[in-house]
Structure 1
Amino acid sequence: MLQEESDLSLIIAQIVQKLKGSNLYSQLERQAWASLQRPEIKLESLKEDIKRFFKTSGWEKKLQNAVYSELSVFPSPRHPAAPPEHLKEPLAYMRKAQGSWEKRILKSLNSMCTELSIPLARKRPVGEQKELLSKWNEMGTDEPDLSLFRPVYAPKDFLEVLINLRNPNYENGDYLSFRTHLGLIQVPLKVKDIPELKELFVELGLTTGQLGIDDATQVPPELFENEHVRIGQKVLAEQDSAAAQQYVRQGSPTALRAELWALILNISSQPEDILYYEQLKTNVIQHDLLVDSLIYKDVKLTASNDDYYFVFEDYLYQVLLCFSRDTSVLGHFAYNSASPPKSYIRGKLGIEEYAVFYPPNGVIPFHGFSMYVAPLCFLYHEPSKLYQIFREMYVRFFFRLHSISSHPSVSSRKTGSEQTLNLFLFLLLKRNEKSLNEMIKQLILICGVTSVFL
């Protein structure tokens, strides 16, 4: 009990410390000072009166949403004696695998840089800056020669790393079974069983209403949909992030989806957010990075404009190029098993004082990276808002899809790549174990018959 109280006090202190550096804290401070001029604020009940003012003016709700947003990415409490690296990844063999994978990526990037005699970064000439600025909203029409560039890695390369991952302390001994060798992922990680999943995702039960799914519920689908939309509008009016996340567990109406996701992520597009995006855009205009060509190449290969399928190629460039310059993304490495790659100023190789993160956000794009942004383009048509939504989704969720990790986050609903694959295999076995057994038997029989003729 005392340990839980201590952990809670530590979490509160860290969140308060982080919020003190936010724009919201400055706004709350200004509002508190301004409220002193109001006649209902009395000196003898100053604290309670200001609390009441924050509640009636809506600032309390904004503070609640900010705290909720911080809690969603707050790392799990760890033992006081545990070393700092355990916060990123508790298992040593996974930390080692992640480190080896990062070295491989960096080697691929440096090799391409050397082969093509291209610097990692350079300042654009004034003429090139003007040209890029003039076509910022139509970069999809540009056709640069990218034939010499290659992705640093593809998802299948990452899958191979996961397949070859082994726990050196785990040994099945004499109890090897068909199930042991059936799945590609051989790391024994704990995943939730069927009863636990049913409890965690109770809203997906057959007797519970779910938007877009016609199950045997007691309420007709059209009545449920109308009522669900009405409740959704009320949730948006209340501007409560926690309520919005609970609401979408029964489905998100198409017309409300963009606003609901923004509310859950606590994105409100304040003037300072738009200004921050414009600053990132200026950085793109002024400096050319090697990863820019990787982004161009990836978009051209996976999500270029198509009149019948996807017409938002320009948005992808506007978001991803700015994302590569955003140093605020570095903050997510505090709870990510990965570490941001470093480069050194020319002539100062190996001297830490001259080391810089490259790219500035610490994320090297790979083949298919643009597909993280593509679905969001259908919901948000303002580049700065689209950028904020993508960045928040990346630092909360997407980074887990390409990092080697063993543990879920605080919510217990977001897992690393290893656990996701293990859970998929577990569900597949539970649902179709008999069919899979028969399939394996048939394959063995076919192999046996074939060997007779060879």
Structure 2
Amino acid sequence: MDEIREGSIHHTALKFTEDIKQMKIYNNLYKTVQKLTCSPDVKNDDMKNTLEQAMKKHGLETEIRNIVFHLIRNSIKSEVKFSMQTNDPLNYLRRAGIQWERRVRKSLNTMCSELKTTLQGQLRKEQEKEELSNKWTELSNFQVDLSNYRPVYAPKDLLEVLVSLKGPAGANKDDGCSNDDVIPRWEFSHIALPVRNLQELRTVFSEILRNEMTLNDWSATCERILSTRHAPLCQQILKKGLTPILLRGKIWSIVLGSELEDHHNEYWEELKVNVLNTDSIVDKLVFKDVQLTATNDDQYFVFEDVIYQVMLCFSRDSEIADMIKTDWLNTSKLKQYETPQNNIVPFHGICMFAAPFCYLYDSPIALYYTFRAFYVRYCHRLTTINTHNQGIVSLCLLFEKLLQTHEPSLWSHFRELQIQPIRVVFKWLMRAFSGHLHPQELLILWDLILGYDSLEILSLLAIIILSFRKESLMQVSTIEQIEAVLADLSSIKVLPLVQLALSRD
């Protein structure tokens, strides 16, 4: 058994070594080790031990540990490998994912045809290029005619597809609904995805309920941990939801592996040049989305110019397509339709995933890479139909089960009104509450997402908000009135509500 274990560790180490060699930071890493090897700290008669000590002294050991930490996290896939075997109960869900991706790509390509343009875009005229360059830091003053442009899709479009999903034949025979024409079927209960119950969530998020230190002690502890730059320890900081505001940006960048390196600055300039040189339909969609969302938001309109920069470069970033790997993206049904360089079809509200990062970073470059890492790890699962245990389908199913189990009177109230409760909270889930919570409360929520590496906290918060406003919800009878009750979340305090949700019987 020990030989098998050692062999497995050896092969894993070899794989990670090869992965690191393919990374952009490898050359600098290798040169640094070479310099250390030639330094007085390393002795020829005991090179192994003295080199290890020198690496610790100069912080190189921590850097390598963080690289391995991120490689391990990114190599773990919870999603079952794509299969079209007839006995797989999730095949219909995977097919729905392919159909959805095909639909949004087709819509974007159709828009290109209607506007007589190509998705790759065309070279900008010198005058326009110069104007765009001059206004790069104040893009809100760059005039763009957006009258013929519309969002490719919105959260409600994805929701309509999700609630219309049909599972395998007979999946709903025992759902307790005898008259589907009168009472709507709760559309996620038949999906064979495993989700946690409240007791299991209480175990997962147990650190939230433990606040032994005073805030002053905790702040000092966070500073000490941050000084180590050790990613797993920094991730632990975030689990309490008490992250010091001034430290949050640095902690997030370490946890997400997005600390700035020289190659980051160089690649940002490449993306910027691409934007300046090429006029793409995606640029118009970016401007349209920012104007429809962030510009009209009291908390984010001041960051309009930075959001433009970040989202325009985001649309040109072909590295994202390599980072977000799903088993079904290479199917022939999808290849017939082109996509933007980042392989992401922009949708209504996509810029709101980037907007909160404006509160963390002064530099648009630092902001960009942490936002990109957050999007790749979490946000893309909220906008695609997938079988991942952190995907939007799983979160909807978790929400329904928690509501039915722990708020039966609210559940019954929705059933009597023939209103599907997911319709009330879906926009919160798909945007991870961005644009709905006050920014400082949203950042606490995203602290918890990063700390526990889990999006399940979104469903938990959605449930407790409904519980918190239960009395008002029980007194209204239309979906418009329900939405009015839940329209303003500015007074919501994330941590106390989540603690309340986890401590309930």
Alpha-carbon displacement from aligned partner over 1:258-290 (angstroms, at most 9, x marks no partner): 121112112222232112111110110011111
Match of 2:193 in 1: 189
Distance 1:65 1:192, change over 3 A: same
- Partners of 1:319 and 1:341 in 2: CA distance: 31
- Do 1:340 and 1:363's aligned partners in 2 also have CA atoms closer than 8 Å? no
What amino acid sits opposite 2:97 in the alignment?
Q
Find the aligned partners of 2:333 and 2:266 in 1 and give their Cα distance: 28
Residue number among 267, 283, 289 corresponding to 2:258 in the alignment: 267
Q: Which residue, out of 342, 345, 360, partners 2:341?
A: 360
What is the identity, as a one-letter code, of the residue corresponding to 2:149?
F
Q: Which amino acid in structure 2 is aligned with residue 383 of structure 1?
A: P
Label 1:400 to 1:309 Cα distance change in 2 as closer, same or farther (>3 A). Answer: closer
Counterpart of 1:105? 104
- Secondary structure at 1:312 match in 2: helix
In the other structure, the counterpart of 2:323 is 332
Once the two structures are superposed, the pairs formed by residues 9-28 of structure 1 within 5 Å of their partners are: 11-28=12-29
Give the corresponding residue for 1:50. 51
Cα drift, residue 439 of structure 1:
5.9
Describe the shift of the 1:33–1:161 C-alpha distance in structure 2 as closer, same or farther (beyond 3 A).
same
User: Which residue of structure 1 aligns with residue 140 of structure 2?
Assistant: 140
For residues 29-74 of structure 1, what are the alpha-carbon distances to aligned partners after superposition, in whole Å with 9 as ceiling and x for unaligned? 1122222322342334323332222112100101111111222222
- The correspondence for 1:318, drawn from 296, 309, 320, is 309
Alpha-carbon distance change, 74 to 363 in structure 1, aligned in 2, over 3 angstroms: same
Report the equivalent of 2:149: 149
Q: Describe the SS at the equivalent of 1:41.
A: coil
Name the residue aligned to 1:118: 117
Q: Distance in 2 between the 1:370 and 1:113 partners?
A: 21
2:316–2:341: 8 Å Cα contact kept in structure 1?
A: yes
Change (3 A) 1:296 1:66: same
Q: In the aligned structure 1, how far is the partner of 2:229 from the partner of 2:409?
A: 48
1:6 is displaced (CA, Å) by: 7.3
Instruction: Flag the structure with larger Rg.
Output: 1
Q: Is the 8 A contact 2:293 2:349 kept in 1?
A: yes
Written as runs of structure 1 = structure 2, the 5 A alignment for 1:242-257 is: 242-251=232-241, 252-257=243-248
- Determine helix, strand or coil for the equivalent of 2:279: strand
Structure 2 Cα separation of the partners of residues 406 and 428 of structure 1: 21
State the one-letter code of the partner of 2:63.
Answer: K
1:26-65 equivalences under 5 Å are: 26-65=27-66
May I ask how many residue pairs the two structures share in their alignment?
Answer: 409
8 Å CA contact 1:337–1:405 kept in 2: the answer is no
Hey, what's the Cα distance between the residues in 2 that align with 1:10 and 1:250?
36
Residue 429, structure 1, aligned to residue 429, structure 2: no
Return closer, same or farther for 1:118/1:396 CA change in 2, 3 Å cut-off. same
Pairwise CA distance, 1:243: 0.5
Residue type of the alignment partner of 2:131: E
Q: 1:305: how far off?
A: 6.4
Q: Cα offset for 1:148?
A: 0.9
Provide the C-alpha distance between the structure 1 equivalents of 2:299 and 2:394, rounded to a whole number of angstroms: 36
Q: Which residue of structure 2 lines up, in the alignment, with residue 383 of structure 1?
A: 364
Q: Structure 1 residue 171: deviation in Å?
A: 2.2
Partner of 1:452: none
Return the alpha-carbon distance in structure 1 between the equivalents of residues 83 and 44 of structure 2.
46
SS in 1 for 2:301: coil
* RMSD, matched Cα: 3.2
Shift of 1:244: 0.8
- Compare 36-45 and 249-258 and name the one that shifted more: 36-45
- Give yes or no for contact 2:43–2:50 (8 Å, CA) kept in 1: yes
**Residue number in structure 2 paired with 1:214:** none
- SS state of the match for residue 122, structure 2? strand
Decide which moves more: 2-11 or 328-337.
2-11
Tell me the distance in 2 between the aligned counterparts of 1:340 and 1:280: 28
In 1, the alpha carbon distance for the partners of 2:165 and 2:69 equals 35
Contact conserved, 1:333 with 1:339, CA < 8 A, in 2?
no
Instruction: Give the secondary-structure state (helix, strand or coil) at the position aligned to 1:100.
Output: helix
In structure 1, list runs of 5 or more residues that go unmatched.
210-218, 345-349, 409-414, 445-454
- Number of the residue aligned with 1:201: 205
CA deviation profile, 1:146-183 (whole Å, cap 9, x unmatched) = 1111111111101111111222266243x231599653
Q: Give the Cα–Cα distance (whole angstroms) in 2 for the partners of residues 169 and 13 of structure 1.
A: 46
Matched to 1:114, the amino acid is S
> Which segment is superposed worse, 35-44 or 101-110?
35-44
Judged with a 3 Å threshold, the aligned counterparts in structure 2 of structure 1 residues 305 and 272 are, in CA distance, closer, same or farther, namely farther
**Is residue 2:238 matched to residue 1:235?**
no
Deviations 1:222-250 (A, max 9, x none): x6211111111111111111101111101
1:307 Cα deviation from its structure 2 partner: 6.8
Local SS of the residue matching 1:334? coil
Structure 1 length-normalised TM? 0.81
Contact 1:124–1:288 under 8 Å retained in 2: yes
CA contact (8 A) 1:337 1:404 kept: no
Change (3 A) 1:401 1:14: farther
What is the CA-CA distance between 1:76 and the residue it aligns to?
A: 2.9
Q: Distance in 2 between matches of 1:384 and 1:255?
A: 18
Determine the C-alpha separation between the residues in 1 that align with 2:299 and 2:197. Answer: 42
- Deviation of 1:406 after TM superposition, in Å, equals 1.3
The one-letter amino acid paired with 2:16 is: I
**Cα separation, partners in 2 of 1:26 and 1:359, compared to 1, 3 Å:** same
